Structure formats: C-alpha cells, structure tokens
Amino acid sequence: MALDTSALNRQRHNLDHLDDVWLFGYGSLIYKVDFPYLEQRVATIEGWARRFWQGSHDHRGTPESPGRVATLVEAPGVECMGVAYRVSPRTFEHLDHREKNGYLRFFTPLWFSEEESVDGLVYVAGADNAAFLGPAPVDEMAEQIARSHGPSGPNADYLLKLAGALSEMGATMNTSLSWQGWLRISLWPGRDPASPPR
C-alpha cells in the first residue's frame, strides 16, 4: 500500500450523503483536536489493542528516522478506550490529510456504555502499509521514540501527552510499551526530563 493514503480513503467511503459521522480517536486525536466537532464522548471499541507499531515519517519522525505512533491491532477480548467525535463529513478532508501516513478508515461499533453504541469511523494503519514497523523489544521502541523528531515535534512528547490524556480519562495505555520504557524515554540523554510535553 502507498505511503499516502488520503486519496484511497476518499475512494473507500463516500460520506457526502450523511449529515454527520462519528469518529473514534485513540492516539493524537484524543489530545490534539484541530478540527470542529458537534459532540464529544468517551467511547471504547472491542477487539482492538493500541500499539506503537506504526512509523511516523511526516509528524513525529522523518523518512530517514521514523518515529513510532499508535495504531490498532486485532486483539479478541480486548477493549480500547478513546474519544468519539460527531463531525461533519467535510471534516474528513482535513483528517484524511492528517492521517495520510498509512492509515485507512474503517467502520466499527463505538460503545458509549453497555447498552449504547453507534457505528463510527476509525483510522487503522495495518501491517500492509509502507510505514508499518511492527513489534520490537520495549527498550528498542523506547530508544526509537526518544530519539525521533519530526515536523510536529519530538516523538517522546507524543507518547507522554497521550499517556497523560488517557490517565485523565481513567484509561491505561494498554500497549506493548511498559512503564520502564516510558521512563527511559523521559530520561533519554539530551531531553530534559522535567520539561513538559509540547
């Protein structure tokens, strides 16, 4: 699959006939909301786990030194907590560009409670996309995140901001990165561990 998936996403789902669409965010869409929305709610999706297995060549790294950002991998019995936004279909012009680095849109049920759900779109970067990095030992992933930097800033700040936002929601990272890995990122030489994420 091509690295830039923005055109492919527009072909996959024609949303023009809809008044609004629910979108599920599980990574930077939780804390960096640079798009208008009509409604915002905490939600979960079932059967998916958040993992730092996607390479970032355009936001938190470069083509020569990609960062690691979140994607979802199938995980039966697992719930992933995030934030759902009800948005205008026009919003996806911006979102498709933002999530163009290997992410495809999929419809999936979003659960607001045990009794209430709605179908919504989620961006997933699968193993067949050109930027996919896959699993690695925790120390290797931590070192890669600690040293990576892209147009949107340090990769470490992405991880720490996401961890903080999830903590405020009462959720956990639920990823293959352990607390030891996060600590190693914070203490990596060259980065002030006391400095707040930008």
Active site (catalytic) residues: 99
Quick one: 21 exposed, middle or buried, by C-beta within 10 A (0-12, 13-18, 19+)? buried
Listed in sequence order, the DSSP H helices in 85-150 are 91-98, 138-147
The pairing of strands 153-154 and 149-150 is antiparallel
Q: How far apart are CA 130 and CA 54, in angstroms?
A: 10
Closest CA relative to residue 1, chosen from 126, 133, 92: 126
Q: How far apart are CA 115 and CA 64, in angstroms?
A: 47
Amino acid residing at 84: A
SS3 153: strand
CB 159, CB 182: distance < 8 Å = yes
Q: What is the CA radius of gyration of the chain?
A: 16
Quick one: 142 exposed, middle or buried, by C-beta within 10 A (0-12, 13-18, 19+)? buried
